Chain A
Amino acid sequence: QVQLLESGGGVVQPGRSLRLSCAASGFTFRNYAMHWFRQPPGKGLEWVALISYDGNNQYYGDSVKGRFTISRDSSNNTLSLQMNSLRADDTAIYYCARARGVTRAHSDYWGHGTLVTVSP
């Protein structure tokens, strides 16, 4: 069965960096584009980034553009999110998800998330 398992969350000071990982299993990872989403505690969902199936194309939400980098290692079935210059408003649960559809606009499988807290 499809499984996505995020890791790497924790408490980090403003301005510092953190790298999240998402281990994928149960499907042919190299065939699918992947998303990162996030959800601040008690608030709504926000799209963060998308990477194409082959890793050649990356797209970002306005709030993280220039600070976050999405990447993938299909030899290890792993998706990553490098987060630099972290701010308090980056505090959220971060989810990885498998992208589907021609425009990769919907996600049929999600991980359970990893919490990132940006605090002095």
Chain B
Amino acid sequence: QSALTQPPSASGSPGHSVTISCTGTSSDVGHYIYVSWYQQHPGQAPRLMIYEFNKRPSGVPARFSGSKSGNTASLTVSGLQTEDEADYYCSSYAGNNTLVFGGGTKLTVL
């Protein structure tokens, strides 16, 4: 159960777009569609933003989108807003009913 790799930080200006990557292996991200993204503001519980690599739960703005290619999944936030400033975590199904997380990316809206 090795951790997925995310950049420690990302940034963008309001109204612009930013993409956060999440790199795993052929045993997790590369093998399954079951990649999720969570947003976490300081002192709060995580919030599900994307599941099954590109599906958005009801209530999540359409400017959040997900994609996957090979062993890398990506979260794109378009039309950045100040409230998007948070930590973002990817997770993937890793087989045998186990999950693995990335180390998290701190998104700063400049």
Contact = CB atoms under 8 A, between A and B. Distances in A.
A44 B1 contact: no
Contact of B1 (A62, A108, A111): A62
Contacts of A103: 32, 34, 93, 97
A107 B48 contact: yes
Given A105-B34, A106-B51, A106-B52, A44 B45 contact: no
Interface in A58-76: 59, 61-62
A47 B103 contact: no
A45 B105 CA distance: 11
B41 to A, nearest CB: 12
B92 A105 contact: yes
Given A44-B102, A105-B36, A110-B46, 9 more contacts: A35-B99, A46-B101, A62-B1, A103-B97, A105-B32, A105-B34, A105-B52, A107-B36, A108-B48
Contact of A95 (B3, B45, B96): B45
Nearest to A60: B98
Interface in A87-107: 95, 100-101, 103-107
Interface string A33-66: 0010100000011110010000001010110000
21 contacts: A44-B101, A44-B104, A47-B1, A47-B91, A47-B98, A50-B98, A57-B97, A59-B97, A62-B1, A105-B91, A105-B92, A105-B93, A106-B34, A106-B36, A106-B52, A106-B91, A108-B48, A108-B57, A110-B45, A111-B45, A113-B45
